[in-house]
Structure 1
């Protein structure tokens, strides 16, 4: 009788060990979940940094005309009415500080509002 009890207890211990190491909720699954948590934490950190940059940009766009003018120039190619637009094929534009009053007279680039078009020789027709 004692022999059978020992066999049953050893079998039960083996079953519990299997459940602990390989079964549902076991150590293998725990390792997998921890690696997924690490991956998601890194992704979340990246997204939080992006959100902070975007929030700062929103505040800047709400409060400052410099940011609005910069966005208008870079994203949709706007120029002020007192500026002339020159397009030189094959040359990348330089980032230069904006001169003059903030946000006045922006018009789409290539069609200045007050200046006649400039020919390739630099003279006006």
Structure 2
């Protein structure tokens, strides 16, 4: 009888320890979920850093457009094909040259 009660206590301790280990590793807020969340946080932080850099470039561009005429002229030249009076337009082709014997 003495050993039986010790065996029951030992089995109960093992069961409690197993339950706690299961909760720690595989439970709802366990270690596996924690690692998944850390991975998601790192990915989101990387995306946020990329977006922050893009936003900074846009802020600089907006500030330049508001204060300087050089940026407006550059955008007009690139996007709208602006050519000022007394300027000569030269277009350079980057297509490969092919020769034909016909």
Partner of 2:21: 17
TM-score by length of 1: 0.64
Determine whether 1:31 maps to 2:35. yes
Q: Does 1 or 2 have the higher relative contact order (CA < 8 Å, sep 6+)?
A: 1
Q: Which has the higher strand share?
A: 1
Correspondent of 2:87 among 83, 89, 110: 83
Q: Which has the higher helix share?
A: 2
Correspondent of 1:68 among 72, 78, 82: 72
Partner of 1:48: 52
Q: Tell me, which stretches of 5 or more residues in structure 1 are unaligned? A: 93-125
Q: Tell me, which stretches of 5 or more residues in structure 2 are unaligned? A: 96-102
Q: Quote the RMSD (CA, aligned, Å).
A: 1.8
Structure 1 consecutive aligned stretches of length 4 or more whose deviation exceeds 6 Å: none
Deviation per CA, 1:15-41: give whole Å up to 9, x if none: 110110122211111111112211211
Find the aligned partners of 2:76 and 2:12 in 1 and give their Cα distance: 79
